[in-house]
A and B are shown apart, each in its own frame.
Chain A
Amino acid sequence: DAGVTQSPTHLIKTRGQQVTLRCSPISGHKSVSWYQQVLGQGPQFIFQYYEKEERGRGNFPDRFSARQFPNYSSELNVNALLLGDSALYLCASSLAPGAASTDTQYFGPGTRLTVL
């Protein structure tokens, strides 16, 4: 079985541009979460989606948005990129909300975004 997949692997953008990152969850998983990991820090929660609805949002500006499609894949969009947006963006999937506590929330390998 394929794990969580993310595309692209690496991305270089310049300040002010917009970026779209993509995530495909494990087959059968309906919950997708996004995290940002800045170098030297732990992952920080951005969004959670379940059944195409936003179920949770972290402390990120409105430049960050996401959506989930009927096949449960998800996109993360970041507008007006800043240098500080340079980070590893991780996607995670789980069967349903709450499964991450006692079951496993499976993470993808991430997309490395560099903003110049």
Chain B
Amino acid sequence: DQQVKQNSPSLSVQEGRISILNCDYTNSMFDYFLWYKKYPAEGPTFLISISSIKDKNEDGRFTVFLNKSAKHLSLHIVPSQPGDSAVYFCAGNFGNEKLTFGTGTRLTIIP
């Protein structure tokens, strides 16, 4: 039962443009949604989170949008930089340490 889905395994974006990564979920009981970034040979690194009672959270170049009626969230990165090339995971949780991750999207920023 895949409660968190990332349907795009990969995405390529020109440097300086906007990167939009999408995530869908089925469990409406999630309290929080989080985005993690993972480089090869490293553990995932927290990027940004959003409470289920919010519809937007912004932190620098990163903005997460939550559409609860559609059970969809997206991560916007503006402007995209070469260092943003990594695998991005979205995850849901119930206010505890048990994160339910999606399968990830590999983002490649083209110089």
Contact = CB atoms under 8 A, between A and B. Distances in A.
Interface of A: 4, 31, 33, 35, 40-45, 48, 55-56, 58, 90, 92, 94, 97-102, 104-110
Interface of B: 4, 6, 31-32, 34, 36, 41-46, 49, 51, 89, 91, 93, 95-104
Nearest to A101: B32
The 10 closest A-B pairs by CB, nearest first: A107-B43, A42-B101, A104-B46, A101-B32, A48-B97, A33-B97, A100-B97, A45-B98, A107-B44, A56-B98
Select the residue from B43, B101, B104 with max chain A CB neighbours within 10 A: B43
A42 B98 CA distance: 13
Contacts of A90: 43-44
B93 A101 contact: yes
Contacts of A33: 97-98
Nearest to B104: A42
Q: Residue among A40, A45, A56, A108 with the most chain B CB within 10 A?
A: A45
A44 B104 CA distance: 12
A40 B103 contact: yes
Given A35-B99, A42-B6, 6 more contacts: A42-B103, A42-B104, A45-B99, A98-B96, A101-B96, A102-B49
Nearest to B100: A45
Contact of B93 (A35, A42, A100): A100
A44 to B, nearest CB: 7
